[in-house]
Structure 1
Amino acid sequence: MPTRFSKTRKHRGHVSAGYGRIGKHRKSPGGRGMAGGQHHHRTNIDKFHPGYFGKVGMRYFHKTNQQFWKPTVNVDKLWSLVPTEQRDAYLSGKKTDVAPVIDLLPLGYSKVLGKGRLPQIPVVVRARYVSRDAEEKIKAAGGVVELVA
């Protein structure tokens, strides 16, 4: 439980009485923190923190950050993007009338690369970019590649 008054009797005989050697129970005469960086502390800021104040260069309005956004997925991982119950039905041969459509953009991919093997089951792949090897492998399996903007 906090007491109403500080127990000053306990500090008698101790030089600083708990208020430290340097500050000695006074407020901060120069201001707290970075106060006065452009005024009375300017020499210190200029010497030890050059460039802290002010602006440099020009701002780039309307900058397109995602200009080269092209996350890739390989051909051997395409079937892992199909939901499990559907994948099992296709791979076991129960579902043969309709080919699965794998739309890569909602899944976070933009380009299909040709590494790995593809099961010989037709599949429709929608992507922005497809490498030549990937397109050949998908078509060899009886599938179709659709380029999406």
Structure 2
Amino acid sequence: MYEPIRTKSVHSTMADAPTDFPHRSREEELDIQLAGHLAALLAVTDELRALEPSADLDTAAERLAAQVARLRGGGAPVRVPLTAIPSTPDITDLHRRAHAVAGRALLVAASRADTAAAILAAERMDSHAAALEPRELAAH
């Protein structure tokens, strides 16, 4: 009833996968993910620095940039100049976004067993949570 398959499948399986195809290890994939999350956190931190300059945010930005560079093999992350923020976004929303991104970075850093990045992400989560507490209490 059915005609037999005469040609080799175009879909490869693990057994017949070509060895010349570039594969990344799990660690490399996690490095890429973690660098992306930390770079996003750096971008939000730079926005916050432009709106609310502080030594804490300056230090955090430098530490984040160093971690991103380490994970990307020395490539410095792209930074937004502090004068390039076009509009005045809501500070509370920026702290919420930074807290969420730091949480994602913490999850990836923990699964990667990257202690330095995990500590930095946890510190940033705490800092943004502390910045949100008085603002959210005042809003209610």
TM-score, normalised by the number of residues in structure 1: 0.27
**Higher RCO, 1 or 2 (CA under 8 Å, sep at least 6)?**
2
Determine which structure has the larger strand proportion and give its number: 1
TM-score, normalised by the number of residues in structure 2: 0.28
Determine which structure has the larger helix proportion and give its number: 2
Structure showing greater radius of gyration is: 1
